[in-house]
């Protein structure tokens, strides 16, 4: 039976690992949180004491970690994957990180006789839970084909976008579009509320037109209900936009809208809102207007 290792059991990683178990895969898990590991073990997973142990026992090792430095430690560091991995194993990094780090880690894996894919995801915790993530993959076609059945257990759309690093370039493009969309949605709802309209009615009126989108359908109800329980945290989106802007600067590409939204995310993080869902980007515009969308009619 194919042995799958899963490192990182956060908001996204835990439901993804659970989906692999539900699909019948043998899964060994590791996380800095013992309680999260215990929860997965109760669901049928095996525990791994460190990344090296996971690598020694598994054919495919999946990473779902917060940022590039975490991935470097998990793969290249002491007790990392490269210390005890079996030649021919595949490392699949599903974290959203800088493409530069993806290429660095991929090169190190190749030297050690391992295959590597960068395969970041989009869809947030709800789609991680129901196994319908969009997965953007960078790597060699034959490695992609080998891992595809595992990825299809996690996502409804799995696309090979190019060589190593291409997955994270695609993810950065995705994150730019999502962040700017949420920011525009927030401004629109604040404007409508200030004008005395019911923002819920405005949402329903525009969702069927050209302004309608998956982002609008997923995030507007969260704003209207003031439910900012994180499916994807502001702090992580801020990290993604930072990586996008750094990459853009290295290629002399101007991203003015991304820069503006990034500044709003920094302000919200400094206000202690970094752990809220990124739908809370609306709070930046609400504060400037001194108006809360959900309670706007009561204050007009």
Active site residues: 171
* Tokens, residue 43: 């669901």
DSSP collapsed to 3 states, the chain: CCEEEEECCCCCHHHHHHHHHHCCCEEEEECCCHHHHHHHHHCCCEECCCHHHHHHHCCEEEECCCCHHHHHHHHHCCCCHHHHCCCCCEEEECCCCCHHHHHHHHHHHHHCCCEEEECCEECHHHHHHHCCEEEEEECCHHHHHHHHHHHHCCEEEEEEEECCCHHHHHHHHHHHHHHHHHHHHHHHHHHHHHCCCCHHHHHHHHCCCCCCCHHHHHHHHHHHHCCCCCCCEHHHHHHHHHHHHHHHHHCCCCCHHHHHHHHHHHHHHHCCCCCCEHHHHHHHHHHHHCCCHHHHHHHC
């Amino acid at each position: 039976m194919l042995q799958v290792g899963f490192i990182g059991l956060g908001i996204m990683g835990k439901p993804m690992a659970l989906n692999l178990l539900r699909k019948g895969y043998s899964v060994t898990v590791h996380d800095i949180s013992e309680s999260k590991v215990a929860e997965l073990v109760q669901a049928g997973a095996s525990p791994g004491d460190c990344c090296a142990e996971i690598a020694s026992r598994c054919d495919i090792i999946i990473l779902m970690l917060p940022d590039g430095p975490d991935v470097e430690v998990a793969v290249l560091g002491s007790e990392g994957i490269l210390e005890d991995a079996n030649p021919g194993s595949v490392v699949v990094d599903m974290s959203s990180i800088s493409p530069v780090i993806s290429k660095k880690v991929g090169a190190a894996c190749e030297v050690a006789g391992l295959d590597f894919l960068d395969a970041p995801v989009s869809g947030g915790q709800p789609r991680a839970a129901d196994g319908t993530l969009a997965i953007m993959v960078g790597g060699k076609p034959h490695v992609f084909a080998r891992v595809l059945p595992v990825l299809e257990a996690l996502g409804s759309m799995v696309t090979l976008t190019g060589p190593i690093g291409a997955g994270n370039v695609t993810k950065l493009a995705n994150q730019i579009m999502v962040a700017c969309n949420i920011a525009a949605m927030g401004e629109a709802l604040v404007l409508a509320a200030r004008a005395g309209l019911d923002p819920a009615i405005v949402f329903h009126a525009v969702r069927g037109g050209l302004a309608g989108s998956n982002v609008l359908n997923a995030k507007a109800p969260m704003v209207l209900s003031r439910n900012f329980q994180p499916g994807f945290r502001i702090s992580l989106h801020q990290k993604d936009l930072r990586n996008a802007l750094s990459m853009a600067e290295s290629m002399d590409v101007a991203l003015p809208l991304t820069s503006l939204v990034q500044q709003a995310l920094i302000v919200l993080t400094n206000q202690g809102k970094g752990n809220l869902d990124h739908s809370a980007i609306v709070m930046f515009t609400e504060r400037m207007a001194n108006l809360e969308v959900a309670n706007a009619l009561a204050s007009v």
